[in-house]
Amino acid sequence: MADSARPRMLFEMHLPVRSYLPPDGVRLDLLGPSGTRSVCAYEGEARYWSIERDGARTDVAWSYPHPLSDAAEVADMICLFDEHVDVTIDGERRERPRTPWS
């Protein structure tokens, strides 16, 4: 679904490290825009991307089209929920984190 040698890693307290990928590293043809929106005090308003799985749409990624200044470096980059996809970094598969989004 995604492959990039140029991720931006975002470290936040009490949350898993998140890998934000440039859009050209994500198979956007597999994703569709979701109606889900959320607001973070540090990053701003997020828009979500979903995939059809077992006949239902599931949110699997998000991005910040207009982030607040604290997150300016991840503007328009896409972050996949590590809770819902297999993540491999440098040939090593990462364990899926357990979070409220699991």
Predicted confidence at residue 76, as pLDDT, reads 93
Do 82 and 21 meet the contact criterion of CB atoms below 8 Å apart? no
Question: Would residue 56 count as lying in a domain?
Answer: yes
- Which range of residues forms the domain containing residue 21? 8-93
Instruction: Give the Cα separation of 57 and 42 in Å (integer).
Output: 27
Question: Would residue 3 count as lying in a domain?
Answer: no
DSSP string for 15-47: S--EEEE-GGGB-GGG-EEEEEEEEETTTEEEE
The total number of structural domains that make up the chain: 1
The model carries a pTM of 0.84
pLDDT tens, the chain, 102 aa long:
888 889 898 887 788 888 999 999 999 999 999 999 999 998 999 999 999 988 899 999 999 999 999 889 999 999 998 888 888 888 888 888 787 776
Identify the CATH number of the domain in which residue 18 sits. 2.170.150.40
